[in-house]
Structure 1
């Protein structure tokens, strides 16, 4: 069953984002970074131009924003694009902290993960197991 009005407004692929120009968007990149900014331009390859861009870093229940200005994102690096509802944006349960604080927390989280990974590798070696792809070649 086809709805008459919906069929006429359908635009395939990235052309659908034309309706979202000049609106605030969240963009998730392939490397895990999260960008928030106003969508200013889009092309057939999903290359994006974001204005007043912030890179948002999440650590636990906290987040921090690093101002990045105008940001050009190659389409192949885009995982997800979504419009931000400005009315609901401020209703978040996450705590906003300074850039310095969030970067320090991120550094601590990475160090903790690194220590846990080293302990896991060491425990595996003690049991005679070798992980297929060690993170570092320092022991070799």
Structure 2
């Protein structure tokens, strides 16, 4: 096993199935086909996997180019192991569950911001929103 510094160690992962977590929170799973000096990746047969509670759904994305600066985490997937305690659901169902989860979070954030405002405090998020 070679211990190369930085993204050079990803060369050993060529043609293997990887899971990549992006800065925007998306999870992609696909076969690594190419990498360059900036850690830009090309994934083949890529799926976007969405998790909500103990359920997940897969959206086929095909060939996917990922800029290295957008990658948070990258690792090989053991294809022999199953996803424990997770239930696969249809794409439509997982998208609906995800939307409900986003709306719940937005409602909680509104309540929190209102409570802060009533106490005379302002939130960093609130000041950013005022700029737009």
TM-score of the alignment, normalized to the shorter chain, above 0.5:
yes
**1:39-89 Cα distance to aligned partner (Å, 9 max, x none):** 00111111100000001111111111110000000111111110000111x
Distance 1:63 1:91, change over 3 A: closer
- Equivalents in 2 of 1:67, 1:97: separation in Å? 14
2:79 paired with 1:86: yes
2:90 paired with 1:98: yes
TM score, norm. by length of structure 1: 0.85
- Equivalents in 1 of 2:97, 2:24: separation in Å? 19
Question: Following superposition, which runs of at least 4 residues in structure 1 exceed 4 angstroms of deviation?
Answer: none
Distance 1:132 1:113, change over 3 A: same
Q: CA deviation at 1:91?
A: 4.2
2:35 paired with 1:61: no
SS of aligned partner of 2:120 = coil
**Count of residue correspondences:** 129
Give the unaligned 5+ runs of structure 2.
none
1:25 to 18, 26, 41: 18
TM score, norm. by length of structure 2: 0.89
Give the unaligned 5+ runs of structure 1.
1-5
- Equivalents in 2 of 1:16, 1:45: separation in Å? 13
- Equivalents in 1 of 2:121, 2:95: separation in Å? 35
Q: What is the aligned-residue RMSD (CA, Å)?
A: 1.6
